[in-house]
Structure 1
């Protein structure tokens, strides 16, 4: 599964969210409270874009949920972004340094977790893009396990914000500002809207740097 960068250049997550808002997509695909932890913490120019490979975690006490045929990291498609939904209120990490080592061999572009990760120094030494809500020193084994792979999952790291559903193959854009999900059937529309809005923003920036006011600039270019 190769990332489709020829269809959507690396627009920033903010540009994509603005485009989805303009297209009336509920919540603009924004997953709040997920941050870049590696290679740097909410800093630098790391940005990932690619199709989602989804993984749902369940508590180990759930004996009814199906078990995957193989470890979810071994099943990562090349060129994908691993999206992991972790049960809320658990203290363990569901992604660590050993998983990153295998994911890089598999050709993953990065990982997005709506829960916890660990082994930060190993992640950063590997230069692997990791987005998560928080960290933990606890391993996954006693707490969680993967169930069916590549099925629709929901992420809701902030209980006060509606959940976002991620379907396999939806596109993920993530950078220092945050994480946003593009429904796969809207990719071309989002690209067109991003192209239009970023051109306007470039005009605004030029005008503001020349000394024009916000009011005059927005009136002139944003209408």
Structure 2
């Protein structure tokens, strides 16, 4: 399934997470839509050309002991739509995994583009054998069952904040750009302007790169093109 390893979509958006962050900063989005401390684990750890772009399908995990939180009508992986990026918010300070090899098998069969977990995942070898894009904060050997469960689906989720960075809320249908550098969230109503801003910035960067390779200095090059 090579489609999972390239940034491909019915929407033309060939830009990286870094391109998006630069664009969102220029457009005045606090924190540049960046979700810190979540990294690519599969197919490779923070390496390779894996890149995911697509609309978010959101999953809110809660503690298994929370009897007041609603329960979805179907398993959250069964409900994951094709062509979407599964985005999972895990309760803070829980050490279990909320995503494993069996979930990847089902999500991949459904046509999901990848998964982003604000917490822990497991079964790394199975993830990598499947070549499924998996982004997470860390790994765990413990499964979810006794500790956490899915609650709200396709409702806004807030990824655990970093003390030095604004929290990022993901709404269903927001666009996710994820690669070896990190993850950026594009508000769904900003996709066109972000794409236009990225195109202009990338064109400038290409000129800068060519000049630098020719031996020109940074200050000279930036003064000319930026």
Identify the TM-score tier after normalising by the shorter chain: over 0.9
Give the superposition deviation at 1:168: 0.1
Q: Distance in 2 between matches of 1:204 and 1:6?
A: 30
Give the superposition deviation at 1:7: 3.6
Aligned length: 220
Q: CA RMSD in A?
A: 1.2
Ranges in structure 2 where 5+ consecutive residues have no aligned partner: 1-6
Q: Which residue of 2 aligns with 1:123?
A: 127
Q: Which residue of 2 aligns with 1:175?
A: 179
Q: Distance in 2 between matches of 1:123 and 1:5?
A: 22
Q: Distance in 1 between matches of 2:8 and 2:123?
A: 30
Whether the 8 Å CA contact 1:8–1:187 is kept in 2: the answer is no
**SS of residue paired to 1:203:** helix
Q: Distance in 2 between matches of 1:140 and 1:159?
A: 26
Ranges in structure 1 where 5+ consecutive residues have no aligned partner: none
Whether the 8 Å CA contact 2:101–2:122 is kept in 1: the answer is yes
Q: Which residue of 2 aligns with 1:164?
A: 168
Q: Distance in 1 between matches of 2:225 and 2:166?
A: 33
Does the C-alpha gap of structure 1 residues 121 and 4 become closer, same or farther in structure 2, counting only changes over 3 Å?
closer
Does the C-alpha gap of structure 1 residues 4 and 48 become closer, same or farther in structure 2, counting only changes over 3 Å?
closer
Q: Distance in 2 between matches of 1:77 and 1:29?
A: 23
Q: Which residue of 2 aligns with 1:91?
A: 95
Q: Distance in 2 between matches of 1:136 and 1:142?
A: 14
Q: Which residue of 2 aligns with 1:151?
A: 155
Give the superposition deviation at 1:162: 1.8
Residue-by-residue CA offset, 1:32-52 (whole Å, 9 max, x unaligned) = 011000000000000000000
Q: Which residue of 2 aligns with 1:100?
A: 104
- 2:13 counterpart (5, 9, 14): 9
Structure 1 ranges of 4+ moved more than 4 A: none
Whether the 8 Å CA contact 1:170–1:183 is kept in 2: the answer is yes
Does the C-alpha gap of structure 1 residues 190 and 8 become closer, same or farther in structure 2, counting only changes over 3 Å?
farther
Q: Distance in 1 between matches of 2:10 and 2:107?
A: 23
- 1:114 counterpart (94, 100, 118): 118
Whether the 8 Å CA contact 2:161–2:168 is kept in 1: the answer is no
1:194 aligns with 2:198: yes
TM-score, scaled relative to structure 2: 0.95
Whether the 8 Å CA contact 1:93–1:138 is kept in 2: the answer is yes
Q: Which moved more, 1:6-15 or 1:89-98?
A: 6-15
Give the superposition deviation at 1:131: 0.3
